[in-house]
Structure 1
Amino acid sequence: MRIRVKLYPEEHDELVLPLHYNHAVQGFVYSNLDAGLARWVHDEGHAYFRRNFKMFTFARLGGRYRIHQGRISFLEGVTIRIAAVDADLLASIAEHLLKRPQVRLGNEVCRVDEVAVEPKPEVGQEDRLVVRAASPITVYSTLTTIRGSRKTYYYSPYEDEWSQGIISNLARKAKSLCWQTDPERDLEGSYLKPLRVTTRDMSVVNYKGNIIKGWLGIYELRLPEPYFWLAYDAGLGAKNAQGFGMFDVLRPRQVMEEPEVCSHNAN
């Protein structure tokens, strides 16, 4: 399930945020949840061994903008799109926003102009879909160097480990939800492979001082239907609750008309 929120600044003509705004948007999500639910999602979530899946994600902010001196200014308000597996999470956000005359996004005081449920895409029985990353998709491994230090390696969509990591991550999400099935068997033959992805689609995000690399672009996605909806609601790849892995389904005509996109979070 997904919702779309439209905000306008109350105190200024433009809504000004840090260029790397993922933490501000994540804070917006948590601050507009019931306190108990926010604590559970943040501290516990859906656990699988050492993993803690929050099961929500969000897209890059939408709206006309300009970038100046390391900040991004939205000129006509901003749109936040949030997806979640748990409908109660989105319902809590919507309820809070509709009751509050003012909310905060980062340091900006905003008024809520719209809260709407997004319609689901019509995917029918198709198991191969063309999708566009609505926020960067990230896949990584933590490696130990010969000196004993730890290093994070981020994969590109053109490395075999990219698709493998996507599918393995999705299997762990299904297990964290206690699905009574065998995800490894179910996901045999599944993949996410690049269709229109260039170096311009690499996005480098500074999240609370940590550098995270992800990729935008257009991909072919093959998943069994239940796993497609899990990915659609929870996000593809890692670090979803930090604003990574949300995607949209494209129809064939949209693929032909889709312009190349350069991320405003990219360095």
Structure 2
Amino acid sequence: MQILLSAEKVDRSDIVLPFHYQAPLQGAIYHLNQNAAFGTFLHDIGYSAEGRKYRLFCFSRILEKPKHILRQKHAFVFPSKISWIVATVDNPFADSLLQTIFTDDPFMIAGQQLRFCRIQILPECKDNPLHVRAMSPICVYSTIEMANGKKRTIFYHPKEEEFAAILQRNLKRKCIARFGNEEMDDSFHMRILSRPGEVVTEYKQFVLKGYLMEMELSGSDQMLQMALCAGLGGKNAQGFGLIMPKSQWKELI
């Protein structure tokens, strides 16, 4: 499920957010989840497969362009109303989020009080092949242990062979973590349709690299639906890997 959220600052003034605003958005999303037991499970435990943990939700960057930039403060100045997309595999998460939104209670992002003014559950898309656009950077990486015992993270470019292979393994693990079917059809293919744009992001003192682009995805329906609901690549719950079908993004942007 993908949900478009629009919120307006209570005092109608501009919204000021740091350049790397994924953490404040993530914090707001967790705070808005009113199902305490499920929220604790999602944050502290998550779903697991092959030794990996997954939260099975993701979110986009803010859809509106900044009005201007405060370079000395490393911040964007957005209009008083901002929108972004949250996608999730789990109905309890979506139900709790929607229930909170309908209460009309204000919430905080980066020390600023906002209130939701619009929500829209986006229609399910079952196209196959699927033409998509990355609405937050797709982060694909592997971690290796070096001779001195230290670990090193390697980020992959979309045109490297490892990129598609890691995406496929990641999607299959997410499906297994949620549905438990290790014998599932894990077919998955990607074709890059635009020049990948590199985005370097700081998240809680970690530097992450991802790419924005358009892609054509094909494969099993289960793999494609997991990509739409849980995101492509890694660090999805930190604001990476949300993709949107072409038919929908053109109506929103």
**TM-score normalized by structure 1?**
0.86
**1:133 CA displacement:** 0.5
Amino acid at match of 1:161: E
Instruction: Show CA shifts across 1:147-193 (max 9, x none).
Output: 3221100000010000000000011111112343524xx224x2223
Q: CA deviation at 1:134?
A: 0.9
Task: State the shift of 1:122 in Å.
Answer: 5.1
Structure 1 residue runs without a partner (length 5+): 260-267
Q: Which letter does structure 1 place at the counterpart of 2:244?
A: D
Instruction: Quote the residue 1:227 is aligned against.
Output: 223
2:8 corresponds in structure 1 to: 8
**Residue type matched to 2:98 in 1?**
A
* Letter of the 2:94 counterpart: L
Note if 1:26 corresponds to 2:26. Answer: yes
Per-residue deviation, residues 96-137 of structure 1 (Å, max 9, x unmatched): 1221431111211012111221112352xx3x2221101110
Asked if residue 107 in structure 1 is aligned to residue 103 in structure 2, the reply is: no
Could you tell me how far apart the structure 1 residues matched to 2:52 and 2:13 are? 42
C-alpha distance in structure 2 between counterparts of 1:64 and 1:178, whole Å: 38
Residue 83 of structure 1, CA deviation: 0.3
Amino acid of the structure 2 residue aligned with 1:7: A
Q: Distance in 2 between matches of 1:119 and 1:178?
A: 22
RMSD: 1.7
Provide structure 2 residue ranges, at least 5 long, that are not aligned to the other structure: none
Question: Counterpart of 2:40?
Answer: 39
1:247 to 220, 243, 252: 243
Count of residue pairs the alignment pairs up: 245
CA distance in 1, matches of 2:114, 2:167: 36
What is the TM-score normalised by the length of structure 2?
Answer: 0.91
1:9, distance to aligned residue in structure 2 (A): 1.2
Look up the SS of the partner of 1:177 in the other structure: helix
2:97 is aligned with 1:93: yes
Matched, 1:202 2:206: no
Query: Structure 1 100/36 Cα, relative in aligned 2: closer, same or farther at 3 Å?
Result: farther
Partners of 1:167 and 1:72 in 2: how far apart? 35
* Residue identity opposite 1:150 in structure 2: K
> Take 2:106 and 2:179, find their aligned partners in 1: how far apart are those partners?
38
For 1:148, what is the secondary structure of its paired residue? coil
Q: Matched residues, percent identical?
A: 28
